[in-house]
């Protein structure tokens, strides 16, 4: 039976002899030392601490970071015959988040994600505990009819992963730290387990607010308001 090697994307830096700091930063703890000859054309070598032991990279060799984060050197002719420059990564898609929960540190009730490009996710989890009085009066009546119910944390994680999968990279934006905390917690499905997502960066903005929300304390409308506030700031910049 024949097999075809799967395409693998790696990161690499070429050791040119004059970019020691760049190579050292790239290798991190796998940088094992440098030997340089001051004479023109002299020896310029970096030691790479690989999984198989120390290996030497000569000037012109490439330093590779593999899929497991491991580092190793490759001769330039082999590298150039094996790898081609990858496509540049697209700019992350801004996604705005708002969530509601049952009082301080209480259970999550609803979560909404609204992408800068308009895609939306609005999910709710059944509340199996007594509602906080303020939440009962101000939040629960505002849960919209368009909310998509999930049975629990595992289904929530699956729905988040499915929504995020359409983006190559995501920049998550919130106006409150706990929205980010709840989102991160929702991605975890068990000890050492999490759903797969595209690369995600996160930002908490103090200059965004949901005061213009069409329905305050409705997570979807509040996330839409954050998006509108962001677009307004960008237009004025």
Tens digit of pLDDT for each residue in 140-174? 999 988 899 998 999 999 999 999 999 989 999 99
pLDDT tens column, 61-112: 999 998 788 999 999 999 998 888 876 666 899 999 999 999 999 999 999 9
Query: How many other C-beta atoms lie within 10 A of the C-beta of residue 63?
Result: 23
Write the pLDDT tens digit of every residue in 108-143: 999 999 999 999 999 999 999 999 999 999 999 999
Q: Is the confidence at residue 236, as pLDDT, over 80?
A: no
Residue positions counted in the chain: 237
How does pLDDT run across 9-54, given as a tens digit for each residue? 788 999 998 899 999 989 999 999 988 765 556 678 999 999 999 9
Give residue 188's pLDDT band: very low, low, confident or very high (50, 70, 90): very high
Which structural domains are found in the chain, ordered by start?
11-82 (no CATH), 93-236 (3.30.420.10)
pTM of the model: 0.64
Judge whether residue 227 has pLDDT over 60: yes
Contact 18, 75 (CB under 8 A): no
113-132 residues labelled b (16+ CB within 10 A) or e (exposed): bbbbeeebbbbbbebeeebb
Report whether pLDDT(5) > 80. Answer: no
**Spatial separation of the C-alpha atoms in residues 46 and 33, rounded to whole Å:** 6
Which DSSP letter does residue 2 get? -
Arithmetic mean of pLDDT over the chain: 90
């Amino acid at each position: 039976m024949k097999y075809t090697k799967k395409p693998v994307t790696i990161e690499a830096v070429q050791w040119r002899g004059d970019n020691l700091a760049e190579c050292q930063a790239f290798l991190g703890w796998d940088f094992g030392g440098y030997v340089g000859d001051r004479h023109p054309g002299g020896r310029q070598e970096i030691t790479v601490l690989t999984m198989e032991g120390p290996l030497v990279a000569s000037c012109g060799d490439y330093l590779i970071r593999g899929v497991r984060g491991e580092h190793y050197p490759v001769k330039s002719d082999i590298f150039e015959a094996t790898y081609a420059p990858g496509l540049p990564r697209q700019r992350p898609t801004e996604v705005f988040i708002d969530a509601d929960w049952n009082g301080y540190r209480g259970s999550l009730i609803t979560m909404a994600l609204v992408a800068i490009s308009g895609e939306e996710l609005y999910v709710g989890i059944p509340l199996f505990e007594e509602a906080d009085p303020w939440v009962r009066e101000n939040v629960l009546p505002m849960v919209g009819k368009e909310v998509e119910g999930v049975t629990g944390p595992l289904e929530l994680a699956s729905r988040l992963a499915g929504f995020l999968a359409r983006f190559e990279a995501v920049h998550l934006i919130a106006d409150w730290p706990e929205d980010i905390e709840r989102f991160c917690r929702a991605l975890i499905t068990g000890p050492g387990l999490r759903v797969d997502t595209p690369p995600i960066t996160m930002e908490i903005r103090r200059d965004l607010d949901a005061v213009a929300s069409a329905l305050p304390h409705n997570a979807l409308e509040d996330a839409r308001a954050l998006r509108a506030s962001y677009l307004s700031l960008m237009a004025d910049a």
